């Protein structure tokens, strides 16, 4: 069972130091579960489960689940 997940802000080791939420917000287009999972260092399945339970902002395009980077960044900042 998934419990409340607390994501720790990580910093980029090269270039300007950006918080995780800032990096996601600058992604520029809707993200797939695989892309978001890579940023958050969790499995794609966890991302799908969080989306299904409305615990992370998401939307559907046909049968595909997508994530708005600005909404996800705002959600992360609120965690």
Task: Tell me the per-residue pLDDT of 26-76, one tens digit each, with 9 for 90 and over.
Answer: 988 999 999 999 999 999 999 999 999 999 999 999 999 999 999 999 999
* The pLDDT value given to residue 15: 53
Contact of 37 with 46, CB cutoff 8 Å: yes
What residue ranges define each of the domains in the chain, with the CATH number in brackets?
A: 20-77 (1.10.10)
The Cα-based distances of 24 to 3, 12, 31 in angstroms read 23, 12, 9
How much is the pTM? 0.75
The whole-number pLDDT of residue 1 equals 38
Quick check: 13 pLDDT over 80? no
7: confidence class by pLDDT, cuts 50, 70, 90:
very low
């Amino acid at each position: 069972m998934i419990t409340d997940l607390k994501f720790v802000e990580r910093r980029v080791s090269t270039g300007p130091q950006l918080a995780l939420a800032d990096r996601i917000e600058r992604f520029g287009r809707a993200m797939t579960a695989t892309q978001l999972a890579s940023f958050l260092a969790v499995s794609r399945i966890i991302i799908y489960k969080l989306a299904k339970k409305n615990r992370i902002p998401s939307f559907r395009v046909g049968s595909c689940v997508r994530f708005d980077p600005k909404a996800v960044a705002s959600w992360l900042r609120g965690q």
